[in-house]
Amino acid sequence: MIDYKLKQGSWYEVEERCVLRLSGPDRVRYLNGQVSNDVSVDLENKAVPACVCSAKGKVEALVWITAETDALIVDGELSQRETLLERFDRYLIADDCEWEDVTGSRRLFHVLDPNLEGKKTTRLFSPGTDLWTTSDTPDFLDDSLKLSSRTVEEAELLSLIPKAGYEINGESFPAELGLDKIAVSFEKGCYLGQEVVSRIKSVGRTRGELVLIAADNEISRDSIVRIDDNGEGRTTRKALELQEKIWIAPALLSSKTSKGQQTEIQQVTRLFHNLTTY
Segment 51-55 shows an average pLDDT of 97
Q: What is the residue range of 269's domain? A: 207-278
Rounded Cα distance, 208 and 255, in Å = 7
Q: What per-residue confidence (pLDDT) applies to 1?
A: 85
Q: Which residues are bridge partners to 240 per DSSP? A: 248
Rounded Cα distance, 38 and 28, in Å = 9
Q: What per-residue confidence (pLDDT) applies to 255?
A: 59
Q: Which residues are bridge partners to 73 per DSSP? A: 21, 66
Q: With a cut of 80, say whether residue 227 has pLDDT above it.
A: yes
Q: What per-residue confidence (pLDDT) applies to 259?
A: 54
- The number of domains in the chain is 2
Tens of pLDDT, residues 230-256: 689 999 999 999 999 999 999 999 856
Instruction: Report whether 276 contacts 2 (CB < 8 A).
Output: no
Residue 132 sits in the same domain as residue 23: yes
Which residue among 101, 128, 158 closes a domain?
A: 158
Tens of pLDDT, residues 104-157: 999 999 999 999 999 999 999 999 999 999 989 999 999 999 999 999 999 999
Round the average pLDDT of the chain to a whole number and report it: 94
Residue 145 sits in the same domain as residue 36: yes
Residue 142 sits in the same domain as residue 212: no
Q: With a cut of 90, say whether residue 205 has pLDDT above it.
A: no
Q: With a cut of 70, say whether residue 4 has pLDDT above it.
A: yes
| Three-class DSSP category at 131 | strand
Q: Does any domain span residue 171?
A: no
pTM confidence score: 0.94
